[in-house]
Amino acid sequence: MAALGITVALLVWMATLMLISVWKQIYSSWKLPPGPFPLPIIGNLLQLDFKNVPKSLTKLAERYGPVFTLYLGSQRTVVLHGYKAVKEVLLDYKNDFSGRGEIYAFEAHKEKGITFNNGPSWKDTRRLSLSILRDYGMGKLANEERIQREVPFLMEAFRKTQGQPFDPTFVLGYAPCNVISDILFRKRFDYTDQTGLRIQKLFNENFHLLSTSWLQLYNIFPSYMRYLPGNHRKVIKNVYEIKSYTAARVKEHEESLDPNCPRDFTDSLLLEMRKERYTKEPWFTFDNIAATVADLFFAGTETTSTTLRYGLLILMKYPEIEEKLHEEIDRVIGPSRIPAIKDRLEMPYMDAVVHEIQRFIDLLPSNLPHEAIQDTMFRGYVIPKGTVVVPTLDSLLFDNQEFPDPEKFKPEHFLNESGKFKYSDYFKAFSAGGVLSLWLLPARPWRPELQCGRSRLVTPESPDGSGSQKTTTWEVDPPGHCGLRTHWGQLTLGPHAIPGLPANLCM
């Protein structure tokens, strides 16, 4: 009898808890954008296909409209889909939604640095970093020179392969890695340097793992999954390793700092730290500097290197596009000169191809998560403080009105009838806050320049699972030309397949 009483009491207690939880959801959702009804604990996870979250979001947008609410576990999330809604959030409401949604694998950066910082130091760190980056040539001539200086090293690395098959992943990665590391700590890695290689491997592995279902689940249930084995541990460990590398560079810099002559980005941050020495709560600490430098190093290197790698893959797939690029390179730059930013004005086809590569590879389809920093009225809804806000970028990059046949790689998406470059406001691969990312733009000259090399480009195993592998050869400076020529050849697979190859790049 007593046991029955306890069971009934337990059942009543559980039912009450469930009712309270459902009531809380309904009450707090009263003025939220529409969305599927969330289940306790898991929220709307059943509505998401973790192998293709962007596609699930598109399906939900078809049902609930361009602004909808999702619960990822218990985390309230508002998703924006399509040009108008995304632009409104990124531009008109940029302050209200300027927080950063937490990415738990970056616990080493909690409340530090730029990219993953949601703490009080974020705004100042970002503002100061931007202004120092400008001093060191962001978007200016100095960066162009840095890139031009790096080009011969990259070409030499290609030449050294002497037509043998090789995996381009890290060879390509050294170039952006060196340009960024020159700004951050005036350091250049030789293309055989093992530390440079290790850093790149950590970047590459993290970028790949962060897009896997496991890491996405970890971001939703960090406290449940934290103690389980799995790849989240690897990412967390890698993040700590990268940060301890940058911390060591910062320490070296501190020991040899000359306040009258800052050498680089790190020195400038250290000087800022010295200025704050006597304040009660200095926000610019040693740890914050290490995280800031690590953020820029990772965000700048891996995005650029992956874009270059996919770009080459695309050229292999579309030889007719490659041929047209060669014609333009030969005509505007010629065989001996290193490309410069000013050439861009006369190279509409190259400009269009570069934009189309970035549109097509859709590097960060769901953007980085933003967060509402205060209760915000948006389109008649109330979005409470702390809500994660996801301004999807693929919904613009694959808009079928703006880019007809969006699933096809067509440089014509960025060309007008007379073959001139056509700007599109839907091109938001860098999101809108991408002031820092836009730093990449001067990097363009190295793309045509990249193309003077004879080597073999190893492409990954075909994603259709057939196991077929392909190699392509590149000819260095074929007579009368400057440029990469790819030729389909024998099949070979390098040790590092390109992780997370988008389906639209299947060979």
Please report whether residue 309 would count as binding ligand HEM according to CB under 6 A.
Answer: no
Question: What residues are paired with 468 via a beta bridge?
Answer: none
Figure out which of the listed residues 80, 89, 108, 114 binds ligand HEM, where binding follows CB under 6 A. 114
Residues ≥6 apart with Cβ < 8 Å to 502: 310, 361, 362
Tokens at 362, concatenated: 């859709």
Which window, 46-54, 141-149, 155-163, 291-299, contacts ligand HEM (CB under 6 A)?
291-299
> 117 to 136, contacts with ligand HEM by CB under 6 A?
126
Please report whether residue 433 would count as binding ligand HEM according to CB under 6 A.
Answer: yes
Pinpoint the alpha helices (H) of 40-121: 53-64, 83-87
Beta strand pairing call for 388-391 and 370-371: antiparallel
480 burial type by CB count under 10 A (0-12 exposed, 13-18 middle, 19+ buried): exposed
Complex with ligand HEM: residue 89 or 225, whichever CB lies closer: 89
Beta strand pairing call for 388-391 and 75-80: parallel
Residues ≥6 apart with Cβ < 8 Å to 61: 68, 79, 81, 82, 395
Residues ≥6 apart with Cβ < 8 Å to 245: 195, 199, 294
Please report whether residue 303 would count as binding ligand HEM according to CB under 6 A.
Answer: yes
Complex with ligand HEM: residue 302 or 322, whichever CB lies closer: 302
Figure out which of the listed residues 182, 267, 295, 351 binds ligand HEM, where binding follows CB under 6 A. 295
Binding mask 339-378 toward ligand HEM (x if CB under 6 A, else -) reads ------------------------xx--xx----------
Distance of closest approach, residue 440 Cβ to ligand HEM, in angstroms: 4
Pinpoint the alpha helices (H) of 342-424: 348-361, 394-397
- For 108, list phi and psi in degrees, rounded to 5: -65, -15
Query: How far from the centroid of its chain's Cα atoms is residue 339's Cα?
Result: 26
Please report whether residue 115 would count as binding ligand HEM according to CB under 6 A.
Answer: yes
Contact 459, 423 (CB under 8 A): no
Distance of closest approach, residue 436 Cβ to ligand HEM, in angstroms: 4
Please report whether residue 387 would count as binding ligand HEM according to CB under 6 A.
Answer: no
Complex with ligand HEM: residue 210 or 482, whichever CB lies closer: 210
Please report whether residue 304 would count as binding ligand HEM according to CB under 6 A.
Answer: yes
Complex with ligand HEM: residue 92 or 156, whichever CB lies closer: 92
Please report whether residue 171 would count as binding ligand HEM according to CB under 6 A.
Answer: no
The DSSP element (H or E) to which 76 belongs, if any, is strand 75-80
Which window, 160-168, 277-285, 437-445, 451-459, contacts ligand HEM (CB under 6 A)?
437-445
Determine the size of the site formed for ligand HEM (CB under 6 A). 23
Q: Which residues bind ligand HEM (CB under 6 A)?
A: 114-115, 126, 295-296, 299-300, 303-304, 307, 363-364, 367-368, 429-431, 433-434, 436-437, 439-440
